[in-house]
Structure 1
Amino acid sequence: MFKRSTISLQGGALCAALLVSGCANHMSQRSEHEERVERKLLDHSLQIDVGEPQALELPQRRIRIREQKTFEITEFEVTRHYDRYTPYQPWREVYEIPLGAVAVVAGVGANVLNVIMLGRLPDSVTKDWINYGVAGLNPFMNVQSNGRAQQNLAGVDDVQKDKRLEHTSLPWSERPVEVQSGKQNYDLTTDRNGVLRLNLLDSPFAEQDLNRISQLKLAVEDADDSVRADATLALSPSLRGKLVEAHGLIFDDLEGQEVNQWVHRVKRLSDLGLEEEASELEQSLIELTRNDPELQQQFLKSLVKDAGRLVADPGA
């Protein structure tokens, strides 16, 4: 008795499994197409261009830093295939069976009429009505329905279309640069164009005695890829001798000094070959005397007469 019950249960389970697997109404396969691009980094480097001449003769220098990468670009065309089916819902048989009977009768009639009309009726009338009716009459299958359709991934085709090398060279934009000056290390930052504007008469170098510093060491690093670049910029002996005097000419207090002393400071910077610094000091003094037109005119005339400067009258 026990054996017979066990065999019956197993047979019932097998029939149920076959029944469930046969309930789904399989539909035409659907495919999706897309393109996929893979980028593989082959080379990554940083380049520091300290400019010319190699030895720094003036206190200001623009140093360009670039980041270079080489990629292997592979393009693929990807096609995904999906098996589609209409899941079985028993309660739909309440209306599908009678509709199926009507569809079978209509399909048979359409096929008879198609013979008379010499095959002029479309397949959607002659064949699809019959298929719909047969599926509707089957109590273990629902008719096809795009609105209820479900899908499973059946396979993926990955076809390579192209493979090439791509080189990029971008500025080290707004990124840190480490500058070593003697025993001091300074963390500076490039601008959006990857240019480090070095000025030895400006902070933080202005607070350091550079007379005994023969070179500056620059370093940039990308910690993500462990890429680093180093460069050295020499300071000429003549520049080191000028820096101390130039610092005093630029930063010593201007208040309480006579016009001739202002003119001397501008002229001396120009004589040292620091024309850019001389022009900046000159413009600062013109702006300082903006609210005293008489003093400003005296300063401008003295610049032309005693220093040989060509300056424009700001009031003209």
Structure 2
Amino acid sequence: MLQRNILHNGAALLGTLMLAGCANHLPQRSEHEERFERRLLDHSLQIDAGEPRLLELPQRRVRIHEQKAFEVTEFEVTRRYDRYTPYQPWRELYEVPLGAVAVVAGVGANVLNVVMFGRLPDSMTKDWISYGVAGLNPAMNVESNGRAEQNLAKIEEVQKDRRTEYSSLPWAERPVLIKAGKETHELTTDRQGVLRLNLLDSPFADHDISTVGTLALSVEDPQDNTRADASLLVSRDLRGKLREAHALIYDDLEDDEVSQWVHRVKRLSDLGLEEEASELEQSLIELTRNDPELQQEFLKALMKDAGRLAADPGED
């Protein structure tokens, strides 16, 4: 009775092994890569409002830069993987007979290798026998790189370098807050981080800025609340010119006579606002492009009454 139980349990164990099988382990595989860690050490914003700080003209270019300092640590990372061929019982149908052939061939190769003083390659003397033994084992498949699976076994990191890196980038297409008196306006920089400030343009043109003596500029990064502030003073002389200049530029042009157009351009120039005078001049030339006679009348009047030589930029 005891012997029968031992035989029964042994058969059950062998059956379980044949069903579950064993993975055939392959040589471990490694992957190497470099990894970088960047730690922010310092973050600042810089507003370059230009010189002088006192505005005598309505236009000013303000440059804004973002500066960062990072601690950069470089690591060499090695990932090691355990590889194996998963067991599939149905493969034993062809692996067992092939394994028997491989064992016989391997034994024959080893005998021949003795005669040839060890000149045969290991792929014949050793690999054939290894393949054959695995093939004859009903609980194991032979090695197969094509079916191989892998598990991450270990990660090793070695620090190679540590350094400090600096960056200075334009505050590109980002908001800038400008407080003018009781009003606060939000403007946006261009791709180069330049804010083109013009007190005769929107949004300042929509308010009476002639009473504002200081423009307070501020920028802030919402990610870490890094902030920078700057201010520009508006001269009393400029404030006195802004209201008149606004009327000269924005009052209706189409109902005016040519002489009044010339007066507007000349008056802006006399106020020292040459850039605004040139812009108005070009706007009037563009306005009369479809009326060549009126345009020529305007250009001649500019030359005669204002001493300004201008031409249609659209002409060849």
Query: Considering the TM-score relative to the shorter chain, is it more than 0.5?
Result: yes
2-side partners of 1:149 and 1:291: how far apart?
A: 79
1-side partners of 2:223 and 2:12: how far apart?
A: 59
1-side partners of 2:12 and 2:18: how far apart?
A: 10
Q: Which secondary structure state, in structure 2, belongs to the residue aligned with residue 28 of structure 1?
A: strand
Indicate yes or no: 2:52 matched with 1:53: yes
Indicate yes or no: 2:182 matched with 1:207: no
CA spacing shift, 1:202–1:118, aligned 2, 3 Å = same
Checking the alignment, whether the CA contact within 8 Å between 1:269 and 1:277 is kept in structure 2 is yes
2-side partners of 1:85 and 1:256: how far apart?
A: 90
For 1:280, the aligned partner's letter is E
CA spacing shift, 1:244–1:159, aligned 2, 3 Å = same
Match of 1:312 in 2: 311
2-side partners of 1:255 and 1:24: how far apart?
A: 91
Indicate yes or no: 2:93 matched with 1:94: yes
Q: Which secondary structure state, in structure 2, belongs to the residue aligned with residue 241 of structure 1?
A: helix
CA spacing shift, 1:103–1:280, aligned 2, 3 Å = same
Match of 1:129 in 2: 128
Q: Which secondary structure state, in structure 1, belongs to the residue aligned with residue 210 of structure 2?
A: coil
Checking the alignment, whether the CA contact within 8 Å between 1:27 and 1:144 is kept in structure 2 is yes
- How far residue 56 of structure 1 moved from its aligned partner, in angstroms, is 0.8
Checking the alignment, whether the CA contact within 8 Å between 1:23 and 1:88 is kept in structure 2 is yes
Match of 2:256 in 1: 257
Q: Which secondary structure state, in structure 2, belongs to the residue aligned with residue 211 of structure 1?
A: helix
2-side partners of 1:128 and 1:291: how far apart?
A: 92
- How far residue 213 of structure 1 moved from its aligned partner, in angstroms, is 0.8
Deviation track 1:151-182 (CA, whole Å, cap 9, x = no partner) reads 22221111122222221111111111111111
Match of 1:162 in 2: 161
Q: Which secondary structure state, in structure 1, belongs to the residue aligned with residue 43 of structure 2?
A: strand
Checking the alignment, whether the CA contact within 8 Å between 2:286 and 2:312 is kept in structure 1 is no
- How far residue 12 of structure 1 moved from its aligned partner, in angstroms, is 10
2-side partners of 1:210 and 1:218: how far apart?
A: 15
Deviation track 1:237-286 (CA, whole Å, cap 9, x = no partner) reads 11001101111111222234333222222111111100011111112222
- How far residue 297 of structure 1 moved from its aligned partner, in angstroms, is 2.5
For 1:187, the aligned partner's letter is E
Match of 2:115 in 1: 116
2-side partners of 1:168 and 1:16: how far apart?
A: 67
CA spacing shift, 1:297–1:24, aligned 2, 3 Å = closer
Using the TM superposition, name which of 16-25 and 242-251 deviates more: 16-25
Q: Which secondary structure state, in structure 2, belongs to the residue aligned with residue 23 of structure 1?
A: coil
CA spacing shift, 1:313–1:283, aligned 2, 3 Å = closer
- How far residue 203 of structure 1 moved from its aligned partner, in angstroms, is 1.2
- How far residue 313 of structure 1 moved from its aligned partner, in angstroms, is 6.5
Indicate yes or no: 2:41 matched with 1:42: yes
- Matching of residues 276-291 of structure 1 within 5 Å: 276-291=275-290
Deviation track 1:124-159 (CA, whole Å, cap 9, x = no partner) reads 001111111222222332222222222222211111
- How far residue 92 of structure 1 moved from its aligned partner, in angstroms, is 2.9
Match of 2:273 in 1: 274
Checking the alignment, whether the CA contact within 8 Å between 2:98 and 2:135 is kept in structure 1 is yes
Checking the alignment, whether the CA contact within 8 Å between 2:299 and 2:309 is kept in structure 1 is no
The gaps in structure 1 that reach 5 residues or longer are none
Match of 1:296 in 2: 295
2-side partners of 1:257 and 1:30: how far apart?
A: 85
1-side partners of 2:173 and 2:219: how far apart?
A: 12
Checking the alignment, whether the CA contact within 8 Å between 1:300 and 1:313 is kept in structure 2 is no
Checking the alignment, whether the CA contact within 8 Å between 1:107 and 1:130 is kept in structure 2 is yes
CA spacing shift, 1:89–1:252, aligned 2, 3 Å = closer
How many residues are aligned here?
309
Checking the alignment, whether the CA contact within 8 Å between 1:179 and 1:188 is kept in structure 2 is yes
Indicate yes or no: 2:141 matched with 1:142: yes
Deviation track 1:38-97 (CA, whole Å, cap 9, x = no partner) reads 222221111111111101110111111111111222222211111112223333333323
RMSD: 2.6
Q: Which secondary structure state, in structure 1, belongs to the residue aligned with residue 27 of structure 2?
A: coil
Using the TM superposition, name which of 289-298 and 118-127 deviates more: 289-298
CA spacing shift, 1:248–1:90, aligned 2, 3 Å = closer
Match of 2:231 in 1: 232
1-side partners of 2:12 and 2:71: how far apart?
A: 55
CA spacing shift, 1:276–1:13, aligned 2, 3 Å = farther
Match of 1:192 in 2: 191
| TM-score (normalised: structure 2) | 0.89
Checking the alignment, whether the CA contact within 8 Å between 2:18 and 2:89 is kept in structure 1 is no
Return structure 1 stretches of 4+ with deviation > 4 angstroms: 11-22, 313-316
The gaps in structure 2 that reach 5 residues or longer are none
- How far residue 18 of structure 1 moved from its aligned partner, in angstroms, is 8.7
For 2:142, the aligned partner's letter is V
